Structure 1
Amino acid sequence: MGWLWLKYHLLFFSFIPLLIKVWKFSFIYYFRYHPDKNSNDPEAANMFKEVTFSYNILSDPDKRRQYDSAGFEAVELESQELELDLSSLGAVNTMFAALFSKLGVPIKTTVSAAVLEEALNGVVDIHPLPLGLPICRKVEKQCAHFYSVTITEEEARDGFVCRVQSSDKSKFKLLYFDQEESGGLSLALQEDSAKTGKVASAGMYFLCFPVYRLDHTVNSIAAAKDADAAFFKKLDGFQPYEITELKAGTHVFAVYGDNFFKSASYSIEALCAAPFMEEKANLRAVEADILAKRAEISKFETEYREVLAQFTEMTSRYAQEMQAIDELLRQRNEIHASYTTAPPMKRSSGKQRNKGSIKETKEDAQVRDKKPSTRDRPKKKKWFNIHLKVDKRKPC
């Protein structure tokens, strides 16, 4: 983990330039060693993990303090996923966080401390949310809209669903709050939006039986280290909700804007599950199948790793055996060639042959130069070209 020297070698800068340089170097190294650019390269995978882990420490003041006091051991006890409160970042740091997120860094954001504090103090505006009536709004980044839903005993027994969708695939969080005796609200559940087809959506399902949620960020660093882990760990984040049913009364939900720069448009809808009995049965059945598939994949991973190790061993042996065969055939040919009484032929080296050919070429050129050309030869006088003087004045 020597990559952390960045933090200490840049201390002469002020705090903001330090963060900018840390983000810059993190971005460069992250992009260089990303698994998409270095498939089946264990060294690049280890560097990618190291850069991600180091960035996690450098970007979090609490983890920096833990590292300063107790080293990596104190930090490694916690989750290695990035968790950032975007409201505490400046514009430059938010820009780099957005770039990392686009590249696939598992940046997990948290709800703003200011929003949670206002909710706990009971100073938030709460709007009523009628059952079966969707509401479309826009929420600013790192802000929240609060809604209250009132359900009866019968509706609580039938089941209750709250869903949020964003047609422009904005990032948001769906929050559920417990009501404190003091009148404040404390966060009990949260669901991050996920892109599903042409929309981003999140939902909470209180159907009086265990319902599961899928956390896509679970084991993301392990998946980056091992290309196959992206498949085998895909269902590890499939975990049950802590709350399976709601009691009759008023309940508070909130939509939290989780975009980096812009506001999030959304539509929220609260539904009684009574008209959706078939969907309830189908959901229960398919989630049972997913649990069975997760156990099956876990067993398959063990078998796959064993076969992969055997395949790797066989591939290595294949190359070794091929090399051994070539060596034996070479020795056989040499033995065959030794059955002769003739002296071994002296082979002129390529350098000598080249010198000989060059010499021959020069000699040929000299011979050609010695031969007189037709232009240099003296012209012979022909007999019919004899010049006779004739006196034109004397007749013959």
Structure 2
Amino acid sequence: MMPGHRSKSEKHEGGEKQLRRDPYEVLGVLRNSTDQEIKTAYRKMALKYHPDKNANDPKAADMFKEVTFSYNILSDPDKRRQYDSAGFEAVESDNQELELDLSSLGAVNTMFAALFSKLGVPIKTTVSASVLEEALNGLVTIRPLPLGHYVSKRVEKQCAHFYSVTITEEEARAGFVCRVQSSDKSKFKLLYFDQEDNGGLSLALQEDSAKTGKVTSAGMFFLGFPVYRLDQTMNSIAAAKDPDTSFFRKLDGFQPCELNELKAGTHVFAVYGDNFFKSANYTIEALCAAPFSEEKENLRSIEAQILSKRAEISKFEAEYREVLAQFSEMTSRYAHEIQSIDELLKHRNEIHASYTITPFKRSTSKSRSKSSSKENKEDGQTREKRSTRDRPKKKKWYNIHLRVDKRKAC
């Protein structure tokens, strides 16, 4: 077992430091445990310490939080790698998202959760502890679901409808699909249960519904080869932090399903109402994959391409980050050079201005001297005009009156 890592915030009780326990130790699994083993261990412990079953027991409540916190680290491949390499410091323990049991939230908290969900905040929900306990104790009603037939029902919020599907050896080899959809876009979970020796049922797989066109849908594929699911919640959280991180983490949620095939016999599925306030309408159908040989090959091919692309993007990220750092350095220098040039030109223009622009005082005195000389000139002209008017007018030669004898002929 790996020793407990020291977290960012250490609790102090009675003067002694309490460290967070190693998540592998909390869940009772090995460091090389598979995703399915981790998930199975979590669900058993979460059911054991769930607040619904341990009312007024603070130790059970603390244990439930610790189990959920540990699972949130180990169920995320990226956070699990970070924890394995550097401990709690690397996984940003203060920002872990939790899976909420809506049946235990109460009206007010459920309203807040519904509001955040409407605003696009990804909220993981878990199946109600009461439903899991009834299934484990064999107290649920199971309806038969024949292959090739569909059933349409309405399930109440935080409740489940159980169905049994029986397949032959030939059908098991050909592959099997169970699918559910809701035409009114209700939220639901598709569940698959393992049958225990005592006749009870333990949750083994779950798929959350997702919007697909005008409906919400979920499906489980048991085709005899690895089939993958894409967890969009991881990418939504990354997108809120950084668009670049969102792109490079887009395929991190592309993980293999825990089961690839089912053996011949009877298997139990359930549809769980995951709406906050209302019931969920749904249609469930079980199909043999034999008629879909071309679709199976296409699925195998496209998922292989996605895995190849994920490896390619992982290598590309390092190159991109390096070039981006250089680009940031160049743009920073570009802005600095622009500022430097502008300051030099501004200083140069100020020096030029000191020579080319006449000082304000000098121009004022000059204008005053010009105006005074003009006034003196105007005064001189006025006096000259006045003296001219005062002198007697001389008769000009063309104003001389000539005496003309009218009697003489001209």
State the TM bucket, normalised to the shorter chain.
0.5 to 0.7
Q: For residue 325 of structure 2, what is the amino acid of its counterpart? A: A
The alignment covers a number of residue pairs equal to 282
Alignment partner of 1:118: what SS?
helix
Cα distance in 2 for residues equivalent to 1:333 and 1:219: 54
**Aligned partners of 1:86, 1:272: CA distance in 2, in Å?**
34
2:131 to 110, 115, 135: 115
3-state SS in 1 of match to 2:178: strand
Q: What is the DSSP-based 3-state SS (H/G/I as helix, E as strand, rest coil) of the residue aligned with 1:217?
A: helix
Q: Deviations over 1:229-269 (max 9, x none)?
A: 22221211100011100000000000000000110000001
C-alpha distance in 2 between matches for 1:209 and 1:326: 65
Instruction: Name the CA shift for 1:108/1:63 in 2 (closer, same or farther; >3 Å).
Output: farther
How far, CA to CA, are the matches of 2:208 and 2:186 in structure 1?
Answer: 11
1:326 aligned to 342, 353, 367, which one? 342
Deviation digits for residues 348-380 of structure 1, max 9, x if unmatched?
6xxx9xxxxxxxxxxxxxxxxxxxxxxxxxxxx
State the 1:301 CA deviation. Answer: 2.4
Secondary structure of the equivalent of 2:234?
coil
1:189 to 205, 211, 217: 205
Amino acid at match of 2:342: D
Rounded Cα–Cα distance in structure 1 between residues aligned with 2:191 and 2:64: 29
**CA offsets, 1:190-220, max 9 Å, x none?**
0000101111010000000000011111254
Aligned to 2:368: none
Q: Deviation per CA, 1:14-62: give whole Å up to 9, x if none.
A: xxxxxxxxxxxxxxxxxxxxxxxxxxxxxxxxxxxxxxxxxxxxxxx64
Q: 2:360 is paired with a residue of what secondary structure? A: coil
User: In structure 1, what is the equivalent of residue 243 of structure 2?
Assistant: 227
Counterpart of 1:128?
A: 144
Matched, 1:215 2:231: yes
Is 1:143 the counterpart of 2:159 in the alignment? Answer: yes
Give the superposition deviation at 1:313.
1.8
TM-score when scaled to structure 1?
A: 0.66
Q: Distance in 2 between matches of 1:64 and 1:111?
A: 15
Q: Which SS does the other structure have where 1:280 is aligned? A: helix
| Alignment CA distance shift 1:242-1:195 (3 Å) | same
Residue 89 (structure 1) aligns with: 105
Alpha carbon RMSD of aligned pairs, Å? 2.7
2:360 is aligned to 347
Task: Determine whether 1:201 maps to 2:217.
Answer: yes
| 1:1-396 superposed matches below 5 A | 62=62, 80-333=96-349, 345-347=358-360
Q: 1:65 to 1:187 in 2, by over 3 A?
A: closer
Shift of 1:346: 2.7
Greater relative contact order: 1 or 2 (C-alpha under 8 angstroms, separation 6 or more)? 1
Does the 8 Å contact 1:162/1:269 carry over to 2?
yes
Query: How far off is 1:319 after superposition?
Result: 1.4
Instruction: Confirm or deny: 8 A CA contact 1:81 1:106 kept in the other structure.
Output: no
Percent identity among equivalent residues? 80
Equivalent position SS for 1:228: helix
- The amino acid across from 1:80 in the alignment is Q
Bigger Rg, which one? 2
The 1:63/1:307 distance shift into structure 2, 3 A limit, reads farther
| Cα gap change, 1:79 to 1:255, in 2 (>3 Å) | farther
How far did residue 332 of structure 1 move? 3.8
Larger deviation, residues 249-258 vs 330-339: 330-339
SS of the counterpart of 1:170? coil
Amino acid at match of 1:196: T
Equivalent residues of 1:82, 1:106 under 8 A apart: no
In structure 2, runs of 5+ residues without a counterpart are: 1-60, 67-87, 365-410
Q: CA deviation at 1:333?
A: 4.1
Bigger CA drift: 285-294 or 73-82?
Answer: 73-82
User: Which residues of structure 1 form unaligned runs of 5+?
Assistant: 1-60, 67-72, 353-396
Deviation of the 1:299 alpha carbon: 2.4
Q: CA deviation at 1:115?
A: 0.3
Structure 1 residue 290, shift from structure 2 partner: 1.1
Does structure 2 conserve the Cα–Cα contact (< 8 Å) formed by 1:172 and 1:257?
yes
Shift of 1:286: 0.9
